[in-house]
Amino acid sequence: MLLDLAAKSYPAFLSKNYFNRNADEHSDLLVTSGSSFRHRLFDMDPLSYWTSQGSSDAVTEEIQFGLWTPGAQTSRSIDYIALMNHNLDDFTIELSNDNGASWPTLYTFTSVIDQNTRQSVATPIDADRVRIRMTTTQTANQEKQIGDIIIAGADFQPDVGLSLYKRKPFIVKDKTALMHDNSVRRSYIYRSDASLHFFGATLGFSGIAFDDLQQFRDLLKNEPFLVMPEPGDIPSEIFLCGIEPDSYVENYIALSKSGAFAVSFDLREVGGA
């Protein structure tokens, strides 16, 4: 599915990030330097970034990883690739579907000036490993940096307008607990690259075609998924989300008084799940 990433494009829903903590847990996430920061490549927080160590424009850095489900590396059909919050000038993205025996180049990028490089793949391509080869940075001879790498399949991009997108505070959260003596204890949780839950939002869509309703139902009952609320206007915002377990009810979907269908639901970011 070729996603529309132009300005004013409609929200896009994708699979979960196929690059996740499973690759790291199986020692399958390889970096030529900056190993202590490698978890930041998949933590779904683009503000915390992996950085190379001792690099320059004369040094080619590599990041390589397999695509995993829990317990097994697997081939995935890829529609969308993104490198978020990076400082790269020249780099290539290579995909292998034979566990690294061969590395066909999928894309070559040169003279990049944006911090977010996003590519909607024209024809979905199967791969079980990904390699990124980085040469120069946008400012010469800096350490190479990437905030997040996203490898995903496209779910759907409905032809509807975004009627509601409300942020909830996510810099600091508080957690309360009722103690046995009926007192209340409160603690504050600060955002960090190790946190799993640091974003909440309510999304609402109206004017949905009847044919799209089943796609929304399947999405809301599925495993965690990616959502880009405004893919063309705010390219840095892409969230890995999930409905609270076992909370799906048909109340997420309603028929308005005007006869149009509407969907409204809460999302919770779930980190690099």
Q: How far is CA 178 from CA 79, 106, 182, 212, in A?
A: 46, 54, 6, 43
Whether the predicted pLDDT of 105 surpasses 70: yes
> Confidence class of residue 176 from pLDDT cuts 50, 70 and 90?
low
Q: How far is CA 257 from CA 107, 206, 262, in A?
A: 48, 12, 11
C-alpha–C-alpha distance, residues 100 and 91, integer Å: 18
C-alpha–C-alpha distance, residues 124 and 72, integer Å: 22
| Residue 243: predicted pLDDT | 63
| Residue 53: predicted pLDDT | 97
Q: pLDDT higher for 241 or 76?
A: 76
Pseudo-torsion of CA 43, 48, 52, 55, nearest 10°? 150
Which residues on adjacent β-strands are paired with residue 83?
117, 149
Tell me the three state secondary structure of residue 120: strand
Alpha helices in the chain, H assignment, sequence order: 21-25, 210-220
Residue 53 burial class via C-beta count within 10 angstroms: exposed 0-12, middle 13-18, buried 19 and up: middle
> Confidence class of residue 196 from pLDDT cuts 50, 70 and 90?
very low
* Dihedral sign, Cα of residue 32, residue 35, residue 41, residue 42: positive
Which of 113-117, 169-173, 224-228 shows the lowest mean pLDDT across its residues?
Answer: 169-173
* Mean of the per-residue pLDDT values of the chain: 80
> Confidence class of residue 264 from pLDDT cuts 50, 70 and 90?
low
* Domain annotation for the chain: domains and CATH numbers: 19-152 (2.60.120.260), 161-269 (no CATH)
pTM of the model: 0.80
Express each pLDDT in 133-163 by its tens digit: 999 999 999 999 999 999 999 988 877 665 5
Average pLDDT over residues 94-115: 97
Pseudo-torsion of CA 201, 42, 33, 75, nearest 10°? -150
Whether the predicted pLDDT of 207 surpasses 70: no
Most confidently modeled of 37-46, 246-255, 260-269? 37-46
Q: Among 242, 228, 235, which residue's Cα sits nearest to residue 273?
A: 242
Cβ proximity of 266 and 201 under 8 Å: yes
CB atoms within 10 A of CB 232: 16
C-alpha–C-alpha distance, residues 236 and 193, integer Å: 17
Q: Among 163, 74, 149, which residue's Cα sits nearest to residue 118?
A: 149
- Token pair recorded at residue 24: 């790291």
Q: pLDDT higher for 48 or 153?
A: 153
C-alpha–C-alpha distance, residues 51 and 28, integer Å: 18
Whether the predicted pLDDT of 169 surpasses 60: no
Average pLDDT over residues 43-51: 86
Cβ proximity of 93 and 104 under 8 Å: no
> Confidence class of residue 72 from pLDDT cuts 50, 70 and 90?
very high
Cβ proximity of 55 and 143 under 8 Å: yes
Average pLDDT over residues 239-257: 61
Angle at 7 between CA 4 and CA 13, to 5 degrees: 40
Whether the predicted pLDDT of 116 surpasses 90: yes
Q: Letter for the amino acid at 107?
A: Y
Largest CA distance in the chain: 64
